[in-house]
Structure 1
Amino acid sequence: MTSAARTLPDTMTSPETGAILRRDSRPFELGYKGETVTIDLPGYYPEGDGDGVHVGDDMAVADEALRSLKEKIDGIPSPKTIRRLRKKLGLSQREAGTLLKVGESAFDKYERGLIEPSGPTSQLLRLLDRHPELIEDLR
């Protein structure tokens, strides 16, 4: 969480059952194209078994895990990978978007996870990660 993030209360009332839910994290299995990963998903949970309520950034853990699976299975770089590579190449978001011909604001959207790069852009990013000297050919 960022320093500006608010502190969540320890408990809340379930909007469905009226039961008291406590702030906790529980194992959650996430699957993509036949591959699964188990994450600790934060949220508000009832005593014992039962569905939780997720608020604020709780689902960010699941989003990041899904992006990692997509990167592993489909080769679509995650926002974290894209940011790391852009910095490795010494480019601003705007410069990267201009050089790769995807638009000046594309890298901002890639790095925030709002959109995924296209197949050809993903392949180019993988090549640049392995051979950063190729950035000079794009200039």
Structure 2
Amino acid sequence: MAVSKRDLPDTMVSPETGKTLRRGVRPFVITYKGKSKTIELPGYYLENGDEGIHVGDDMAVTDAVLRALEEEVEGIPSPATIKRVRKKLKLSQREAGVLLKVGENAFDKYERGLVEPSGPTSQLLRLLDHHPELIEELRQGAA
């Protein structure tokens, strides 16, 4: 179970140096294939220095930004985009998997970031996002 930010203490002792680290954020640059984005990375940091420790969900922000950069560069939709499109189409995860012929549990895995959709599935999601009326053709073909 993830640790809530509210449950984290304001300070911790560095296991390497014994110095006191304070809870805060630092700028951190994430780069993917030439595209970069600077984020505020939460963690425990030395007041003046580079030492830092990340706990709980601290690194989740980097994962989300990396997936967004991957989406921008490669066209592979992020879990958040996949969920948004599925809800826009008013589909359950199971129904989306059956209609797109990727398996009943695929959308659960896509939306949790466990598996990335294939290229054709990514393209189909992009088309359905721009032309949601096309879902009716998929429904008719499945009937």
Q: Considering the TM-score relative to the shorter chain, is it more than 0.5?
A: yes
Instruction: Output the CA distance in 1 between the equivalents of 2:16 and 2:76.
Output: 37
3-state SS, counterpart of residue 91 of structure 2: coil
Instruction: Output the CA distance in 1 between the equivalents of 2:117 and 2:51.
Output: 34
* Cα RMSD after superposing both structures: 1.4
Instruction: Output the CA distance in 2 between the equivalents of 1:66 and 1:8.
Output: 25
Residue 120 of structure 2 corresponds to which residue in structure 1?
120
3-state SS, counterpart of residue 21 of structure 1: strand
Matches within 5 A, 1:85-104: 85-104=85-104
Can you list the C-alpha shifts for 1:82-118, whole angstroms capped at 9, x where unaligned? 1110000000011111111111111111111111111
3-state SS, counterpart of residue 7 of structure 2: coil
Aligned-residue identity in percent: 72
Structure 1: 5+ residue stretches without partners: none
Runs (4 or more) in structure 1 with deviation over 4 Å come to: none
Count the aligned residue pairs.
Answer: 137
State yes or no: 1:130 paired with 2:130. yes
Instruction: Output the CA distance in 2 between the equivalents of 1:9 and 1:116.
Output: 35
One-letter amino acid matched to 1:133: E
User: TM-score w.r.t. structure 1 length?
Assistant: 0.93
Residue 34 of structure 1 corresponds to which residue in structure 2?
34
Can you list the C-alpha shifts for 1:11-50, whole angstroms capped at 9, x where unaligned? 1111221111111011000000011100000001111121
One-letter amino acid matched to 2:123: Q
State yes or no: 1:80 paired with 2:76. no
Matches within 5 A, 1:2-21: 5=4, 7-21=7-21
One-letter amino acid matched to 1:40: E
3-state SS, counterpart of residue 9 of structure 1: coil
Instruction: Output the CA distance in 1 between the equivalents of 2:104 and 2:18.
Output: 48
Can you list the C-alpha shifts for 1:57-82, whole angstroms capped at 9, x where unaligned? 10111011001101111001111111
